[in-house]
Amino acid sequence: MVYKEDRAQQMRDDLEAAIGHYMVAVAGRLLDEGLPVSSVSSYGAYDDPSQDTFGADVEGSVEFTRSFRRAVFGEGRDAGLLWCGVSGWCFFCIPEGSGRTLMESARWMGGGLTPDPGRVAAFLSNVQLDAAHSGSDERPFYRAPHAEPISLLQRLAVFNADSRSAESSYYESRFACVQIDACQKRVVSALTAEKQEVVEVALRSGELQALLGFLEYVEGAAPRDDAREMARRLCSDLSLRARDGWEGLHEHREALTYAEEQR
């Protein structure tokens, strides 16, 4: 009995990891397209009877920043992408106080249980244009709940192909690297863009200090050396320019120099 339970727990853990890597693959594609993915999640308990209420078992999600959700889908809405191990991908958008469940608000992508990340990104693009009519409100069923977990694990294994290094063997660590990589690319692109105008921005001293504080946090918390170095240099540039004014515009440009080296 103990051995059987150990095997079941190992399967739960393996499914959670495999689903997590699938979520990271989709999140990476969305981040490459400039979308602000904030987190991913994974649930691998294929034998959890409490999921029977929803006709489901394992699942994963890709979540976005609150500002993105509010700007695209409206104030007070919980919105995101959910992957269901029975029915594949759906987009959900729940107005605050509506009393609706996720399943009641779901618009189902279709196209199979584990579609390519590019197809999921295309689905979300359609959602941004017309959330109410993208996909279908009819839920597809590709697999019976709790059934054939080994087969599902094999289907998901392809999305773990890029996780060979020790730093990316855990999907959480892999997502952190993918997220900061996308952010670094955007920062480098912005800093090295051609024909940049000099912009005057009025800041209170406290606001400037708050911004510098966030950059110091990134310097300490970012999972990659290049992101930490970029944050350090940008923080230094802004601090010195605030001290020297316009005269420091062309002198204090360590972040720009570093960005040019990164291209």
- pLDDT for position 115: 97
Mean of all residue pLDDT scores within the chain: 90
Tens of pLDDT, residues 102-146: 788 899 999 999 999 999 999 999 999 998 889 999 999 999 999
The 10s digit of each residue's pLDDT in 65-89 is: 999 998 888 876 788 999 999 999 9
> What does the pLDDT average to over 14-23?
96
User: Locate tokens 């290049």: which residue?
Assistant: 226
Q: What percent of the chain has pLDDT over 90?
A: 70
**pLDDT score of 211 more than 50:** yes
Least confident of 1-5, 95-99, 124-128, 202-206: 1-5
Q: What's residue 166's pLDDT?
A: 44
| For residue 43, pLDDT beyond 90 | yes
User: How far apart are alpha carbons 177 and 167 in whole angstroms?
Assistant: 9
Rounded Cα distance between 102 and 91, Å, is 9
CA angle 48, 159, 20 (to 5 degrees): 40
Tens of pLDDT, residue by residue over 150-196, are: 999 999 999 986 545 444 579 999 999 999 999 999 999 999 999 88
pLDDT, one tens digit per residue, over 235-245 is 999 999 989 88
DSSP-based helix, strand, coil % in the chain, nearest 5: 55, 10, 30
Residue 259 has pLDDT above 60, yes or no: yes
Structure confidence at residue 5 as a pLDDT band (50, 70, 90): confident
The pair of three-digit structure tokens given for residue 200, joined into one six-digit string: 């005057």
| pTM of the model as a whole | 0.89
Q: How high is the pLDDT of residue 162?
A: 57
- Dist. CA 153–CA 230, nearest whole Å: 39
Instruction: For residue 161, give the DSSP letter.
Output: T
